[in-house]
């Protein structure tokens, strides 16, 4: 879910920061194997103080509006991409902070978690971006293995083009909150002229049928199941 009215503002900030990368001739290959004509480099936002602050305010307001004011005991960021954003959001929400290693480091139950996490803690999991949701499920599972309660994930950008992503997250009882998706970027780019018309049209073709676009450009054409 996302706060009404937030999407256009978030899309504008992402575009102004130059975080949208377009390349149809040499498509981007996502970690899950999908080929895409566009890529979001959300980490660029950390170098733009005004955009960064506004985005973190928007993220905090979104999670409070959609999940509630007293629903979390702590915030956990995904290493490395989500740590900075998790720290800024934790500060705004006056909550403790942990981060989750993508792979265990060391030994014991806490090998994948940095920081102190008590059993039963209600965790807001934070990362910069989600494509098909699979990596967020892995990180939530690591926290749940520590007996934490993880019901909500917050990302700044969600592709929201892979049909089974929401179903897979729902099956694992994870609610995904995001500020903007590709349709929001296309809408703002069309309105503001941040992307050429040909690029916008190609992105629209990708959004309409990502499996076909991916297959035609050397990527996978089906949603991978665990």
Domain 6-214 belongs in CATH node 1.10.3720.10: no
Question: Does an H or E element contain 28, and which?
Answer: strand 28-29
Residue-range domain boundaries for the chain: 6-214
Span 15-65, pLDDT tens digits? 999 999 999 889 999 887 889 999 999 999 999 999 999 999 999 999 999
**How many whole angstroms from its chain centre is CA 127?**
5
Instruction: Determine which helix (DSSP H) or strand (DSSP E) holds 165, and give its type and residue range.
Output: helix 165-171
pLDDT, one tens digit per residue, over 60-80 is 999 999 999 999 999 999 999
Q: What is the pLDDT of residue 24?
A: 80
| Each residue's pLDDT tens digit, 88-107 | 999 999 999 999 987 777 65
pLDDT at 223 over 80: no
CB atoms within 10 A of CB 107: 7
Structure confidence at residue 224 (pLDDT) = 55
| Phi and psi angles of residue 91, each rounded to the nearest 5 degrees, phi first | -65, -45
**pTM of the predicted model as reported, rounded to 2 decimal places:** 0.91
20: helix, strand or coil: strand
Per residue in 134-187, pLDDT tens?
889 999 999 999 999 999 999 999 999 987 888 889 999 999 999 999 999 999
């Amino acid at each position: 879910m996302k706060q009404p009215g937030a999407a256009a503002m978030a899309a504008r900030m992402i575009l102004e920061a130059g975080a949208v990368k377009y390349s149809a001739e040499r498509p981007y290959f996502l970690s899950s194997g999908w080929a895409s004509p566009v890529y979001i480099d959300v980490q660029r936002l950390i170098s733009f103080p005004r955009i960064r602050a506004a985005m973190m305010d928007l993220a905090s307001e979104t999670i409070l509006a959609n999940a509630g004011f007293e629903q979390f005991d702590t915030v956990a960021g995904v290493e490395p991409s989500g740590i900075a954003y998790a720290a800024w959001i934790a500060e705004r929400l006056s909550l403790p902070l942990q981060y989750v290693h993508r792979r265990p480091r060391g030994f014991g139950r806490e090998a994948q978690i940095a920081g102190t996490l008590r059993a039963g803690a209600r965790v807001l999991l934070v990362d910069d971006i989600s494509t098909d949701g699979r990596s967020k499920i892995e990180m939530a599972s690591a926290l749940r293995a520590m007996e934490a309660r993880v019901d909500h994930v917050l990302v700044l950008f969600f592709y929201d083009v892979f049909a089974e992503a929401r179903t897979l997250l729902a099956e694992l009882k994870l609610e995904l909150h995001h500020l903007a998706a590709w349709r929001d970027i296309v809408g703002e780019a069309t309105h503001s002229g941040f992307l050429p018309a040909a690029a916008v049209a190609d992105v629209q073709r990708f959004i309409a049928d990502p499996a076909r676009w991916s297959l035609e450009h050397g990527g996978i054409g089906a949603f991978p199941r665990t």
